[in-house]
Amino acid sequence: MTGILKRILAINLAVLHCKPAIGENMTTVGISGWGAYVPRHRIKLEEICKVWERDPAPVIKGLGVEEKAVASRDEDTITMAVEAARNALARAMTDKTFNLKQLGCLFIGSESHPYAVKPSGATVAEALGISSNFGNQMMVADLEFACKAGTAGLQMAHAFVKSGMIEAGMAMGSDTAQGRPGDALEYTAASGAACFIVSKNPVAELEGTYSFTTDTPSFWRAEGKKYPSHGARFTGEPAYFKHLTSATKALMQKLGLKESDFNHVVFHMPNAKFPLQAAKMLGIDANKLKQGLVVTKIGNTYSGSSPLGLTAILDIAKPGERILVTSYGSGDGSDAFSFVANDKITELQNIGKKTWDYINNDKKYIDYGTYLKLRGKIHRD
């Protein structure tokens, strides 16, 4: 068979099996900048237990959480997102070929958008100087899917850049999570934000992503209600563990990877117990979760939870290391990701404030009365 005939046969086989032509859709896309923000105010779980006359020892041991971050009076989903985004941009702009005008989308996931009708993202874009008032093409969307709204935005930004519609995008998860006073959620519902710049010149390349979604009534907040409700018996096995492990297994199967191929792992953190239990179910070494297990010191930041775990990993990841991230959002769904750090990541790790710097440094502890004032919880209904 001549060389020409072999080439024709190869092309026909590629078409028959729906394979992309050489060079098609091979653009590398991933994270080129990341940033975190955690408020300085903290309340210890002991303080909450004291108010509700509960023994703190079993509560702290059961949740694996010692204290949680609380947004101040002048902080909300928007202000925290802006701070995280500024940190992300500082890293992304070490690439001299990157500029703000390349940013064409901004997705912000949250359960606590300040307005029912008025996008948080438009205000964030204006504060950062990337709205259309500054000459940018800018597509903005506020996202909601419980605690996985931030990772949904990361998937969307990746798709926009990968398709060639825009050069770079921004995705963030930011929440000032609410829990009814005296409810189990009050012990962990916390505040924090994370942001990622997605471009074709990444320091952490996205290998693949997979989502798993069902209609499971585990957690909800009706229109006009201040606090969420939860069906306690649905929050474990049929909700968190089913969705998170299913998305993770499907992603590994899709990419032909196994548990041992990952150096770092981040799972959504409603508490410290659940992600560690999920890791055990999947045969993953618990030590791989250690760096990203930020919940122990700041609580569950909802849409910022797994994103903040990822920023903590990116702060220390070495070139060539593979990172598994799987979010979870009540209602119910999980997004799983596989990232691979490249040799450009080390330069960015020395820029700005790291995630654990926010967590450990400059903390200010508050009592329960101050906590109520800051969160606007002045009565129990």
Whether residue 158 contacts residue 124, with contact meaning beta carbons closer than 8 Å, is answered with no
Active-site option among 41, 47, 105, 147: 147
Active-site option among 158, 230, 243, 268: 268
How far is it, in rounded angstroms, from Cα 370 to Cα 358?
A: 21
Residue 118 zone, left/alpha/beta (φ > 0; ψ -120 to 50; rest): left
Active-site option among 83, 111, 167, 186: 111
Residue 376: CB atoms within 10 A of its CB come to: 10
Q: Which of 317, 310, 319 has the alpha carbon at shortest distance from 355? A: 310
Q: Which of 211, 166, 220, 233 has the alpha carbon at shortest distance from 335? A: 211
Q: Is the dihedral of CA 135, 206, 151, 87 positive or negative?
A: negative
DSSP states of 315-377: TTPPTT-EEEEE--BTTTEEEEEEEEE-TTHHHHTTSS--HHHHHHSS-EE--HHHHHHHHT-
Q: Which of 197, 145, 156 has the alpha carbon at shortest distance from 305? A: 145
Residue 218 zone, left/alpha/beta (φ > 0; ψ -120 to 50; rest): alpha
Please measure the distance between the N-terminal and C-terminal CA atoms of the chain and give it in whole angstroms. Answer: 81
Report H helices in 64-195: 77-92, 120-128, 149-163
How far is it, in rounded angstroms, from Cα 2 to Cα 15?
A: 20
Whether residue 327 contacts residue 148, with contact meaning beta carbons closer than 8 Å, is answered with yes
What letter does residue 189 receive in the DSSP assignment?
A: B
How far is it, in rounded angstroms, from Cα 128 to Cα 174?
A: 16
Whether residue 37 contacts residue 192, with contact meaning beta carbons closer than 8 Å, is answered with yes
Is residue 268 part of the annotated active site? The answer reads: yes
Active site residues: 111, 147, 268
